[in-house]
Amino acid sequence: MKQIGLIGGMSWESTKEYYRILNQLAAKELGGLHSAECIIASVDFGPIAEWMHRDEWEPIRKELISKARSLERAGAELVLIATNTMHLLADDVAAGISVPLLHIADAAGEACVNKGLKRVALMGTKFTMEMGFYTEKLKNTYGLKVVIPENEDRKKIDGIIFNELCAGIFTESSREYLIRTAGRLIEQGAEGVILGCTELPLMVKASDLPVPVLDTMELHAEKAFYTALND
């Protein structure tokens, strides 16, 4: 099995879930006491979040490339950015290393195609929902029609992610709000809901909605595991 490198810490709440999923898959597929061969390079999310909200992406780009290169030097044979939003810089990170970078939107798009979905809702940080790098990939590569929440809902979801979920705060009121927002997108014709933030699956579950729920964290980790195993 190839060694998987994770750029984590954005936030650590979801990074630990990646580690759990990878190791559960190793136990399932390999049996016994097997676990996943992986390396984690974790960032300090505090300054990164501040740069994001000041629209200062260059220091983040440098930090992610540095972490990716450190993973490659440590023996990683494929790399994941364990967050959706930072895939805004995925092409730059991929260009800075010589091992594959597995894009989280590819994991989401492939799952949508496999389920026969044509029109999907995307929920995540305001950057993921608004900046185009994610929706355009889903549209251009996978032929998906992507709908996003209204402006006020986008602001509210972004606040829940940064002010609550990334800090390990989980409230029933926020959970209900996220489910209601997803419900409105389903009423607009969404055939599935992409949880395009790795913190959202910590709150919203497949059983909460009447359409398929795409957990990008789980899909990304699964894609990495089976790529590492089968290659």
Catalytic residue, from 85, 197, 198, 216: name it: 197
Cα within 13 Å of Cα(189), Cβ side: 6
Q: Is 166 a catalytic residue?
A: no
195: closest CA among 17, 34, 1, 60? 17
Concatenate the DSSP letters of all residues of 40-96 into one string.
EEE--HHHHHHHHHTT--HHHHHHHHHHHHHHHHTT-SEEEESSSGGGGGHHHHHHT
178: closest CA among 157, 150, 155, 158? 157
Distance CA 121, CA 207 (A): 16
Number of H helices, E strands in the chain: 10, 7
Distance CA 226, CA 231 (A): 8
Q: Is 197 a catalytic residue?
A: yes
CB 225 within 8 A of CB 18: no
Catalytic residue, from 15, 38, 83, 181: name it: 83
* φ/ψ of residue 209, rounded to 5: -130, 155
User: Which residues lie closer than 8 Å to 130 by C-beta, 6 or more apart?
Assistant: 148, 154
Q: Catalytic residue positions?
A: 83, 197
